[in-house]
Amino acid sequence: MPRKLTERQRRFVDAYLVSRNAKQAALDAGYSPRWPQMSGHQVLKLPHIRAALRARGIDPPHGAHPSTQLRKKMVRLPRKELSIREERFALAYLVTGNAALAARRAGIRTALSHREGHRLLNRPRVAAFIEAERAASIERTRIDVDRVKREFARLAFVDIADVIEWDEDGNIALKASAAISPDDRAAIAELKVKRGKEGVKARVKLHDKQRALDSLARLMGLYGKKSFVTIDHARERRDANAILRERLLKIARSGEKNADEKKE
């Protein structure tokens, strides 16, 4: 004699006829929501449940995930906000400018940092966050790539003769501060003045010209690197090319002046 269905089992059979999904039918019938998939699969294996389904015109499938089972279509909603790891990576990249290093700082293993760093950097929401933070930083500090270029140009194209002067006997003297232009003063990294028996001795150290030239070349794309995006501010600015032209004209005038002095 076939076993009689309980009320919950009857609800399971009715729900399965609609959804054709054991998990969903178990939830609809009132089985434990903590393990609906396990409960649905187990209920579907019961002989009297299978007999009831056959009586309703359905041949019950076999296995936990049968191919005939109807499944809900998975819809992945686009993530609007960054995950914790993505945010850590983006903030680290804004500081370092290196995707692999930023990935390591975000907690990614060193062996995977290059691949994962490149993947995170090309993720649209991460790239949009980085660009937005850069633009906000530029607006806050009023520092853009043109100003950075100008500063590197001041260091890269300084002439030692613009800071000190010497005569034929090899006597070296530091020029007065009023005689040194603001661009040349910015190129001075260290200035030491020492008074002794032989008089005042000055020691001048300029910033590294080679390093400044390399940095300027990278910003201008001479090494094949992509330059940063500039933001056009309303105030007037002098670009790096204008500073370079002024320096070249200054050197030319200095050469003509020395030639005239030698003729006299």
Q: pLDDT tens digits for 90-114?
A: 999 988 889 999 999 999 999 999 9
CB of 180 within 8 A of CB of 155?
Answer: no
Question: What are the φ and ψ backbone dihedral angles of 189, each rounded to 5 degrees?
Answer: -90, -35
Q: How many CA atoms lie within 13 A of 41 on its CB side?
A: 8
pLDDT at 93: 92
pLDDT at 82: 87
User: By three-state DSSP, how is residue 132 classified?
Assistant: helix
Amino acid letter, residue 140: R
pTM to 2 decimal places: 0.36
How is the chain split into domains, by residue range?
A: 1-71, 84-141, 148-263
CATH architecture assignment, domain 1-71: Orthogonal Bundle (1.10)
Residue with tokens 């005239």: 260
Residue 63 in this model has a pLDDT that exceeds 50 = yes
The dotted CATH code for 84-141 is 1.10.10.1400
Q: Cα 224 to the chain's mean position, in Å?
A: 19
Residue 191 in this model has a pLDDT that exceeds 60 = yes
What would you measure as the largest C-alpha separation in the chain, in angstroms?
Answer: 132
Residue with tokens 């434990």: 32
CB of 49 within 8 A of CB of 56?
Answer: no
CB of 145 within 8 A of CB of 216?
Answer: no
Residue 128 in this model has a pLDDT that exceeds 60 = yes
pLDDT at 120: 93
Q: How far apart are CA 117 and CA 89, in angstroms?
A: 8
State the pLDDT confidence band at 75, using cuts at 50, 70 and 90.
low
Residue 123 in this model has a pLDDT that exceeds 70 = yes
Q: Cα 164 to the chain's mean position, in Å?
A: 43
Q: What kind and span of H or E run contains 42?
A: helix 36-45
Q: pLDDT tens digits for 217-237?
A: 776 666 654 444 444 444 445
User: Is the torsion defined by CA of 212, 215, 221, 223 positive or negative?
Assistant: positive
156/233: higher pLDDT: 156
Residue 146 in this model has a pLDDT that exceeds 50 = yes
Residue 238 in this model has a pLDDT that exceeds 60 = no
Cα separations in angstroms, 92 against 125, 143, 218: 16, 19, 21
Q: Is 187 left (phi over 0), alpha (psi -120 to 50) or beta?
A: alpha
Burial of 95 (0-12, 13-18, 19+ CB in 10 A): exposed
Q: What kind and span of H or E run contains 218?
A: helix 209-219
* Domain 1-71 shares a fold with domain 84-141: yes
Give me the chain's average pLDDT, please: 76
Residue 175 in this model has a pLDDT that exceeds 60 = yes
State the pLDDT confidence band at 181, using cuts at 50, 70 and 90.
confident
The one-character DSSP state at 69 is S
Q: pLDDT tens digits for 18-60?
A: 888 888 888 888 887 776 656 777 888 888 888 888 888 888 7
Angle between helices 47-55 and 36-45 (to 10 degrees): 80
pLDDT at 72: 61
Mean pLDDT of 74-78: 64
pLDDT at 76: 66
